[in-house]
Amino acid sequence: MQGRTRAAQLHYPLLRRAFRYHGDSASCSNSNGKGLTFFMAPKSLGPKELADHASAIGYLCIYYAELENVITQLISRMAGLKGEKFELFVNQVDLLKKLTIARGLAVSTKAATEWYDDLELIIVDIQSHIIPKRNRYVHDSWRVTMIPEVVLRRFDRTKVAKPQSRKLPVLTTQEYIKTSADDIWQLSKDLVAVRDGLLMLDDGFHSLQFGEAPQLLPQHLRDQLIARRKPHQEANKAKPA
């Protein structure tokens, strides 16, 4: 079990390397302390107030791609397919559809109930928490303000609010939301935790194939996923039928 988990983690070395910036250069060291120093372009091409946001969004995109790769890896294992022919199909499918495929395969393969419940928690979290926020951070416009350390995110959305008594409907096409770089970093942390949880479940499904007890999510991660799920459940209940 330990060997398989370690082998899976070797495909995702990014978090095990330490990056240190020195002006216009950076050093990268592995766990053994050896590394390289290389020169790089300026870290910021725009307002300095957006530098931290830009860095956070960049890492968010990197981790998001890794998350999709792990989902694809799990689908491959559950479906018993791999190689070029599998990739010809799966490369045409976006992350949301891959989540539906993963859920269906888990049912089709009659996976253990505890393992399936953990997978369902992760799938719902990706659908309701990670994907919507990631899409807004990546696709919305960003604006600096005259107030130090206040950055606004512009969400372009057409919305007609229901009128109050004897008043006309209110039309809005843009929404400005105060968003800090820490908000984006927190989403990356959530994403990395979910990605690592998926790696555990991928290893757990491999154990199921050999008749062994599957590896499940650690309780602290399970608690976090459940806590994030509650606001979405309450919001759905509040929507009119």
pLDDT digits (tens, 9 = 90+) for 183-234: 999 999 999 999 999 999 999 999 888 888 888 999 999 999 999 988 766 6
Half-sphere CA count of 179, side-chain side, radius 13 A: 27
Q: What is the pLDDT of residue 209?
A: 86
| 8 Å CB contact between 188 and 65 | no
13 or 89: which carries more pLDDT confidence? 89
- Residues forming beta bridges with residue 95, ordered by sequence position: none
Give dist(CA 178, CA 157) in Å, integer. 16
Q: What is the pLDDT of residue 166?
A: 80
Is the per-residue pLDDT at 12 higher than 60? no
For range 59-68, the mean pLDDT: 97
Q: Give the three-state DSSP class for 171.
A: strand
Give dist(CA 94, CA 106) in Å, integer. 18
For range 54-75, the mean pLDDT: 96
Rounded to a whole number of angstroms, the CA Rg of the chain reads 21
Q: What is the pLDDT of residue 21?
A: 36
Closest CA to 17 of 51, 59, 67: 59
Residue 117, amino acid: D
- Residues forming beta bridges with residue 141, ordered by sequence position: 154
E strands in 126-182: 141-144, 151-161, 170-178
Q: What is the pLDDT of residue 148?
A: 78
Is the per-residue pLDDT at 133 higher than 60? yes
Give dist(CA 191, CA 59) in Å, integer. 11
Q: What is the pLDDT of residue 161?
A: 87
Q: How confident is the model at residue 179 (pLDDT cuts 50, 70, 90)?
A: very high
29 or 232: which carries more pLDDT confidence? 232
Length of the chain: 241
Q: Give the three-state DSSP class for 151.
A: strand
| 8 Å CB contact between 124 and 229 | yes
Give dist(CA 54, CA 137) in Å, integer. 10
Q: What is the pLDDT of residue 98?
A: 97
Element (H, E) at 193: helix 181-209
Of 5-14, 81-90, 163-172, which gets the smallest average pLDDT?
A: 5-14
pLDDT digits (tens, 9 = 90+) for 157-168: 999 988 777 888
pLDDT digits (tens, 9 = 90+) for 34-48: 554 544 455 556 678
Is the per-residue pLDDT at 30 higher than 50? no
Is the per-residue pLDDT at 173 higher than 90? yes
